Amino acid sequence: MSKIEIYTWSWCPFCQRAKGLLDNKGVEYAEYCIDGDEEARDKMAVRAQGRTSLPQIFINDQHIGGCDDIYELDRKGALDSLLK
């Protein structure tokens, strides 16, 4: 099973949308809600090649990107193989 991590803000609609896709896929993921935690956001940005927007998603320590990126992978049929 893949290791899935998602950095979020609790009030972020894009974060909710990305988590909804993962929930619909029936996969478990670790959520790191970093509301107001600039130190955690800085650490996430290092992992995400400088990206500071949320959500940021990682599968097996590979940076996937944000909400639009994970939906694009799903549209292309590439997400399911990453989640297995």
Domains held by the chain: number: 1
> Residue 26's domain spans which residues?
4-83
Name the band, by pLDDT with cuts 50, 70 and 90, for residue 10.
very high
- Calculate mean pLDDT across residues 46-74: 97
d(CA 73, CA 84): 14
> What would the pLDDT profile of 18-39 be if each residue is shown by its tens digit?
999 999 999 999 999 999 999 9
- To the question of pTM greater than 0.85 for the whole model, the response is yes
- DSSP for 27-46? ---EEEE-TT-HHHHHHHHH
The answer to whether residue 84 scores a pLDDT higher than 90 is: no
CA distances from 72 to 10, 34, 77 (A): 23, 24, 9
